[in-house]
Amino acid sequence: MVAVDISDLTRFRKTVQRRTRLIRIFLRVNRERSANSRHSRRKGANDMNYELEASFASLEENGESLVLAFAADESGAGKYVMLQFPLRAEEQDRRLGMDGLYVECDDQSRGCYLGVESIRRAGDRIEIGLTEKGKQSLKVQHVCIIPMSWGPTITQGLARLDALSNGEYNVQL
């Protein structure tokens, strides 16, 4: 029998709620997104690669995490890829495996922590190599982001992600 401290569960629940709230605020998600992402999953659930033509990129650092997100449109209602890295991880986060890079494609059901192996710029694309855990959670083998224009937001976001992760994700600019 495992003893569980109620305060740990409460902190975990609050952490999950806070992160969920940040994700939803950041991406300006509305009810339409659920319908769009269900449609996207049906269409591409068995695809080997996930490809996103991103017309919008955003970088946000809020004291708790760095969020670099790419979306097919600015509303975030359609396809998107989000990378989130904690600026400070609590012991509880480390115990639960929530202390590394979080990646998400289109919906929280297709996201996970510690699912990224590498991030590299290949010409006008960003290629994200996934770990086995990432492949299973995202239901793809590889993620490719094609920004419509490569601006300072993307360069700064990738550089900051590389610096914060101490090279763990082999970010190549």
Is residue 1 situated within a structural domain? Answer: no
Dihedral angle over CA of 75, 77, 81, 82, nearest 10: 70
Residue 22: predicted pLDDT: 53
pLDDT digits (tens, 9 = 90+) for 125-139: 999 999 999 999 999
Q: What is the number of domains present in the chain?
A: 1
Residue numbers of the domain that contains 137: 6-172
- Amino acid of residue 88: R
* CA-based nearest residue to 88, from 41, 169, 10, 18: 18
* Residue 163 falls inside a structural domain: yes
Instruction: Tell which residue, 169, 22, 157, 17, has the closest CA to residue 100.
Output: 169
The least confident of 91-100, 111-120, 137-146 is 91-100
Q: Is 97 left (phi over 0), alpha (psi -120 to 50) or beta?
A: left
Which residue shows structure tokens 């068995």? 46
- Read off the pLDDT of each residue in 12-27 and give the average, rounded to a whole number: 57
Q: What is the mean pLDDT of residues 33-49?
A: 49
21 lies in a domain? yes
Structural tokens at position 108: 């929280």
The 10s digit of each residue's pLDDT in 54-111 is 999 999 998 889 999 999 988 777 899 999 999 887 777 677 767 789 999 998 999 9
Sorting pLDDT into bands at 50, 70 and 90, what band is 169? confident
pTM here is 0.71
